[in-house]
């Protein structure tokens, strides 16, 4: 049995918090393999999980056990670090990074450097893995004067996210229209929420249609909610006589409350015009609840929005989109989205086109039954292939199957190259 220290935001609402809890569930499913310790870390200004359930009680008890373990200087065999690669550290004989946030066309040099401290990296989508492995930087070894290529050499493995509980805690959301789109996105550059609302209003201002927006800026505070409400008022003020409606849902919602959004009888489609996703948990949740999905066909969501389908006389199934696909172009990220060491200035992401976004929303509204048929196929694919049993077993195996190789000699060389890009 290996003693494994899980370092991550296990008590936080953020996507990385849910990742950390999935990792814990995977390890807990194999009690003969792992002696689990937990070190909780903050994550931005995201709120804490408020439910007093079995999982949270286990987390609190294990954190207390961990403090005793570390205070006595007892050994740790493996660290599992659930965070962005900038924060990866060499802390134990075996160190595994578990990360999600690769929403662009390349990773930063710092991510490649810190990855070298890990014995393995687990990622949530093939998009993330492909971008990490394909990113390369040219530099010069100052000791030898030779040209060098900075590229990730650490083993990487993809483990997708699983289907979770479908229990519902009704929010009592009252919608006046029979047809409503749902979008769940943070109010910031990457999620493209402003355009989602704006283009919806421009397309449906004369229609009895609603758009439900679950959002926040930084956290779930009252001040944050007021800011979001004011932002939506600014977007809707040019449409004083609109027939359509835009609803704001803000606050700290449990998984069961989130499920009530997906399952509301008047919710007919999920729409995202995101610039890029590591995986896209809200899109995934909408899909396995059976909502027709509108999305661009780029980045992490492709792992589950495409499925093998036979058509006509085909003997072999081909991957086909089971969603309403929005056209897009790949261009450089805007300056406001640049984040030193995380989102590169020379990186790109997808820009859904205005024309296709509006046309696709309109088509889903006008030909809803067609997309319901697609959504049923997609739900079946996800429910069969993304079970919690499958994903937790795959994750546990990924943790156990680690080749321990020292990266120290390579680290000195790549550190030299990284400095040339700072």
Helical axes 54-71 vs 15-28, angle rounded to 10°:
80
- Taking only the tens place, the pLDDT of each residue in 318-344 is 999 999 999 999 999 999 999 888 898
Average pLDDT over residues 12-17: 86
**Contact at 8 Å (CB) between 267 and 173?**
no
The residue to which tokens 């696709």 are assigned: 360
Q: By the 8 A CB rule, do 209 and 179 touch?
A: yes
Strands 78-82 and 2-8: parallel
* Per-residue tokens: 133: 């492995």
Q: Which pLDDT score, from 0 to 100, does residue 420 have?
A: 66
Contacts of 140 (CB under 8 A, 6+ apart): 146, 147, 148, 417, 420
Residue 405 scores a pLDDT above 60: no
Q: Which residue, among 155, 268, 154, has the nearest Cα to 211 in the 3D structure?
A: 268
Predicted pLDDT of residue 410: 54
Domains and their CATH numbers in the chain: 2-161+389-419 (3.40.50), 180-386 (3.40.50.2000)
Lowest-confidence region among 166-175, 292-301, 308-317, 356-365: 308-317
Give the global pTM: 0.92
CA separation for the pair 347, 331 (Å, rounded) = 8
Per-residue pLDDT tens digits for 88-99: 999 999 999 999
pLDDT tens digit sequence for 192-245: 999 999 999 999 999 999 999 999 988 888 999 999 999 999 999 999 999 999
DSSP state of 335: G
- Average of pLDDT values for 391-416? 74
227 vs 405: which has the higher pLDDT:
227
């Amino acid at each position: 049995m290996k003693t494994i220290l899980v370092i991550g935001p296990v008590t936080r609402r953020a996507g990385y918090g849910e990742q950390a809890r999935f990792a814990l569930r995977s390890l807990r499913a194999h009690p003969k393999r792992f002696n689990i310790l937990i070190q909780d870390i903050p994550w931005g200004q995201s709120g804490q999980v408020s439910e007093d359930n079995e999982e949270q009680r286990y987390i609190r008890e294990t954190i207390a056990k961990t403090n005793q373990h570390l205070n006595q200087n007892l050994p740790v065999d493996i660290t599992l670090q659930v965070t962005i690669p900038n924060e990866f550290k060499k802390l134990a004989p075996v160190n595994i990074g578990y990360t999600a946030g690769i929403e662009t066309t390349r990773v930063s040099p710092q991510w490649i450097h810190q990855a070298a401290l890990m014995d393995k990296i687990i990622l949530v989508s093939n998009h993330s893995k492909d971008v990490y492995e394909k990113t390369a930087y040219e530099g010069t070894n100052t000791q030898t004067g030779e040209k060098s290529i900075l590229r990730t050499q650490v083993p990487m493995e993809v483990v997708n996210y699983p289907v979770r509980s479908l229990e519902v805690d009704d929010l009592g959301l009252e919608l006046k229209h029979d047809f409503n789109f749902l979008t769940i996105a943070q109010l910031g550059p990457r999620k493209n929420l402003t355009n989602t609302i704006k283009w919806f209003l421009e397309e449906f201002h004369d229609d009895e249609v609603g758009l439900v927006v679950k959002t926040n800026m930084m956290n779930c505070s009252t001040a944050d909610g007021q800011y979001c409400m004011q932002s939506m008022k600014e977007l809707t003020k040019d449409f004083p006589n609109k027939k359509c409606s835009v609803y704001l849902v803000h606050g700290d919602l449990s998984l069961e409350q989130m499920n009530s959004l997906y399952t509301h009888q008047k919710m007919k489609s999920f729409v995202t015009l995101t610039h890029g996703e590591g995986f896209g948990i809200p899109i995934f949740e909408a899909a396995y609840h059976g909502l027709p999905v509108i999305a661009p066909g780029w980045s992490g969501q492709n792992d589950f929005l495409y499925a093998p389908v036979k058509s006509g006389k085909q003997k072999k199934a081909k991957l086909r989109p089971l969603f309403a696909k929005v056209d897009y172009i790949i261009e450089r990220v805007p300056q406001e989205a640049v984040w030193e060491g995380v989102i590169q200035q020379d990186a790109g992401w997808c820009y859904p086109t205005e024309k296709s976004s509006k046309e696709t929303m309109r088509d889903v509204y006008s030909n809803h039954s067609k997309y319901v048929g697609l959504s049923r196929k997609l739900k079946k694919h996800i429910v069969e292939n993304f079970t919690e049993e499958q994903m937790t077993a795959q994750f546990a195996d990924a943790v156990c199957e680690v080749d321990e190789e020292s990266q120290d000699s390579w680290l000195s060389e790549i550190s030299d190259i990284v400095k040339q890009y700072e």
